[in-house]
Structure 1
Amino acid sequence: MVLTSETSHTFPIPFPYIVLAHNQRYPSPYGRHILSSDVISRSFHPDTNVLRTTRLVLKRGKVPRWAPRVIQKIDTTWVLEESEIEMGLVEPDGITPVREAAPSSSSAAETADTEAASVPPSGIKRELRTRSRNIDRTEFMEVFEWQVFRPLPEDTLATEVNTLSRVTSEFGFWPVSHRIEAFGLSKLPRSIEGARLGLQFVADLLLRPSTSAAFLSSGPLKPYQFDPVPSAFSLRIRARLDEARSKWAEHEHGISPGEAELREIAESERAESRRRGWRYGPTQEEEREDEEARRRLRAWRDRWAASFRQGRTRFRERVCAMTGLLCDAKDPAAAVGAADPGPEPRGPAP
């Protein structure tokens, strides 16, 4: 079974800016799930004035909990996007390519009328066509999306986009595949709306002058949080502290200043990675410390178990000596001594 969805939208932005924004739409605040976008091929065909581009986009997505465990472990997917930009450029002699074909039949006339409706009065056809699909996890779900951007004939400052989406799944039996297709179709409206907002956001930034305060204060990217430049006094203090730390390490552990500096750099990198939430593998020293901690824990458990056994043995011996109970059968002398305590001690003569 195949599920489809068709939507349309009008941007209050001229078509050239929409095309430019479409090529520069990543990164943006509405595309945080986009991890990378790379152009793998681009070619221009002068006979048709068409620019063809192929991109490879890596996206991060969420998989439903009821999906198979093999699919749940994969949280990223690759998307292949192909786009064609037909800008309707002028001919080398400076004449615009006006269509002059005369229809010879009714069907040809209808085709000519349809094409004429999409061509502006100037005779230049401007259109952006995109086609995208995921190239991995296709056995679970495959999503196709076609988009066509055209300038409105009645308003040259607006651009219309028509989006057609198709979701297919051949995973398992029909109820399972139908549920997967319904899940993918339910996620499409939010995804399409986010893509529209991101495209309009970038187009608005392109329409503004680069020196505007709004562009400089809130751009589409989050700048890297560099540490502030310390003062000269702070640099001198840090240098003295580093020198003292190196001498102490050399005296205490027999480490050369170079090794101490390398250890300090590694420690600062690990601290920075922990602060930013990055994954950082343990070093050999940390592995040795972890092994020493585990060894100490095992030794403490052994001492505690030995102390517990010793206390239990002493308790049994006291109970055996006083009451004759809990005597160990493996020690016949203790059992006999407990059963026959001997003659009672005589008190002092009256």
Structure 2
Amino acid sequence: MVKYFCNNTDVRSTWDLVVSAFWQRYPNPFSTHVLTEDVVYREVTADNRLLSRRLLMKTNRLPRWAEHIFPSGISRSVYIIEDSIVDPVNRSLTTYTWNLNHTTLMSVEERCVFQDTVEQPATTQLKREAWISSSVYGFSRPIQEFGLARLKSNQVKSMKGLEYALSNLQGEAPQRPLRDSVKDAAKSLASAAAAPQKPQQYI
């Protein structure tokens, strides 16, 4: 059995600014549980899409009832893979995230799509979906319920963190169109002597 979560939100800002804020949202006072973030792969495709893979480390507080079940020495850190696709032509940013460790206890896979919209100027539509599962026999249901509650709480913090990054960008000089930035990145990558090996795609 898998718990499914879906939420739609309107971000009151232009898509270009939202994408810029997405890359600058850590650190922020609403996401102190995010300890580190590292880019492990980046590529600009022939059709100017930007593919990235990042590794994030977050703290992972167990519920009280789980602390009596699992060993006291279990790591409280969770390693998260985040794959993202920026499509400046269709003006969308799609992210896929999933945890690398503690997958027996709980596995959380999440997909977010930030989409520009012509119907609502200066607004970016965000669709967030998540799938929560657990393989702990006899406790999978309460673990999934706990995971869902934590996901909803973290979603609120994530939005506040994004709004924090957006507010920081408001006072900066106007952002260059994302399509131009991606094209410049493509030129830089083309001039590199060697490219890193492409990781296995999540999608």
Q: Calculate the TM-score normalised by the size of structure 2.
A: 0.81
**Going by fraction, where is strand more abundant, 1 or 2?**
2
Structure 1 residue 156 displacement after superposition: 2.9
Aligned length: 171
| Structure of higher CA gyration radius | 1
CA distance in 1, matches of 2:61, 2:75: 9
Aligned-residue CA RMSD in angstroms? 1.4
Match of 2:83 in 1: 82
Give the deviation of 1:61 after TM superposition: 2.0
Q: Does 1:136 align with 2:135?
A: no
* Aligned ranges 1:138-153 → 2 under 5 Å: 138-153=103-118
* Matched-pair contact (CA < 8 Å) for 1:146–1:164: yes
Give the deviation of 1:209 after TM superposition. Answer: 3.4
**Structure 1 match to 2:43:** 43
Once residues 161 and 43 of structure 1 are traced to their aligned partners in structure 2, the CA distance between those partners, rounded to angstroms, is 24
SS at match of 1:70: coil
Give the C-alpha shift of residue 188 in structure 1: 1.4
Correspondence list, 1:9-48, <5 A: 9-46=9-46, 48=47
What is the SS of the residue equivalent to 1:69? coil
Q: Is the 8 A contact 1:63 1:71 kept in 2?
A: no
Aligned counterparts, 1:201-212, within 5 A? 201-209=164-172
CA distance in 2 between counterparts of 1:207 and 1:192 reads 23
TM-score by length of 1: 0.47
Identical aligned pairs, as a percentage? 27
| Conservation of the 8 A alpha-carbon contact between 1:51 and 1:84 | yes
Which residue, 113, 120, 126 being the options, matches 2:91? 126
Higher-helix-fraction structure? 1
Q: How far apart in 2 are the matches of 1:50 and 1:171?
A: 39
| Counterparts of 1:17 and 1:71, CA distance in 2 | 43
Number of the residue aligned with 2:4? 4
| Structure ranking higher on relative contact order (CA contacts 8 Å, 6+ apart) | 2
- What amino acid maps onto 2:142 in structure 1? R
| Rounded Cα–Cα distance in structure 1 between residues aligned with 2:172 and 2:84 | 28
Equivalent position SS for 2:65:
coil
Q: Could you tell me which residue of structure 2 aligns to residue 177 of structure 1?
A: 140
- The alpha-carbon deviation at position 71 of structure 1 amounts to 6.7
Show structure 2 runs of 5+ residues with no match: 174-203
- 1:29 is paired with a residue whose SS is coil
In the aligned structure 2, how far is the partner of 1:53 from the partner of 1:21? Answer: 16
Q: Which residue of 1 aligns with 2:158?
A: 195
